[in-house]
Structure 1
Amino acid sequence: MLYVPTYVIGAFLILTGLLGYLIQDPGLSLKLKGPLASDAQFILSDGVEKHEMDFIPCPESAGENVWWIAHKLNEDHAGVVSQKNFATENGANDNELRSFWYASSRGETMEGFLLESQRYNNAGTGEKISLDWTEIDVNSSALRIIYKNAAGNPGPVSLTSNNWENVDIEPPLEP
C-alpha cells in the first residue's frame, strides 16, 4: 500500500485550488433586489466586442428578472457564439473565434433553472413540471455573468448601464 503523508495531500489540494482560482474565467456577481427598470440597458464589453443584454423586466420577482437575463444571454448569445466557435475550431468555416458571456445563478433561482431544464427535457412525455417564476427569489436574486475570452481580446471587460435601479453591487457603480 502506498503511504502519502496528509500534509503532502493537503498541500497538493491547496495548490490545485489556488491554480483553479487563478485561471478561471473572469466573472461578475450582481444581486437584484427587485424588478429592473423597464428602460434599463446593460451592455457587456471586452474592449473589442459589445453585447447588449436582452431581458423582459418583470415587476413580480427578482428571480424572474435573473431568469430572463440568463435565459436570453445563454440561449441567444452564448449558445450561438459557442456553436460558431466550435464549427470554426473544427474547420467547418473560416470565421474568427469570438468571445462571449454566459450567466448563472445560485439558490432558489438556480433550482428554478434546473427545473426549467427538466421541463424542456420532458417535453412531449406527458410529465408536466409546474414552475411559477413570480414566486422564486421574490425580493433578492443573484446573477453571475462569466466571460469566456475565446478570441484572446485584450480587455478590459466591463458592464455598463443607464439605470442601476435594484442592482446591488459593491462598490456602487456609476451610470
Structure 2
Amino acid sequence: MKQHTVTDSPYGPLTLVAEDGVLCGLYMSGQRHRPPEETFGVRDARPFTEAEEQLEAYFAGDLKDFTLALRLDGTPFQRAVWGRLREIPYGETRTYGELAEALGNPTASRAVGLANGRNPIGIVVPCHRVIGASGSLTGYGGGLERKKRLLDHERGTEEATLFQAPARTAP
C-alpha cells in the first residue's frame, strides 16, 4: 500500500512517498522524472515521522547521514549507482566518471548520469553531489539552482537564514 505526504522545506514542498511504510520517493515540485500524483497512494503523514525529523535536522545543519530505511526500485545498474551516491560524504562531490570507475566501468559515465537523474529519493540519496568532469553543476532533476543551494548548504556557504527548520504539514 502506498502513502504520501507533502512537507515544507527550504527548497519548496517535498512529496514523500512510502510503500508498506518504507520511504520509496522524495520528489521536489517541478522535478524532472517526477511520477504522476495518482501513483503516490493515499495521503497519510503517519509513515513519515522519522523521515520528516531527519530532513528537518539535515536542513538545520545537524544531520549529515540519513539512517532511513529505503526502498529503491530500479534496474540493478540504477540501484548500484544509487548505492554509490549514498557513499559520497556530506559536503563532497564526485564526477559521473568517478562513479563509473567506482562501479568498475570507467566508460559508463553517461549511463551513470541517466541513472542519477532517475533517483527516486532525492536529498536522502544525494544525487546533488554529482558534478561534471570540469567541476560544473550539470543536470539535476530538481533544477540547477536547487543543486547549487544544496551543495552550498552542505559546505556551509549559504546564508543560515535560508535553512530554518521546515514546517510540518498536517496529515
Q: Same fold (TM over 0.5)?
A: no
**Structure holding more strand per residue:** 1
TM range (shorter): under 0.3
Query: TM-score, with normalisation over the residues of structure 1?
Result: 0.27
Higher relative contact order (CA 8 A, sep 6+): 1
TM value normalised by structure 2: 0.27
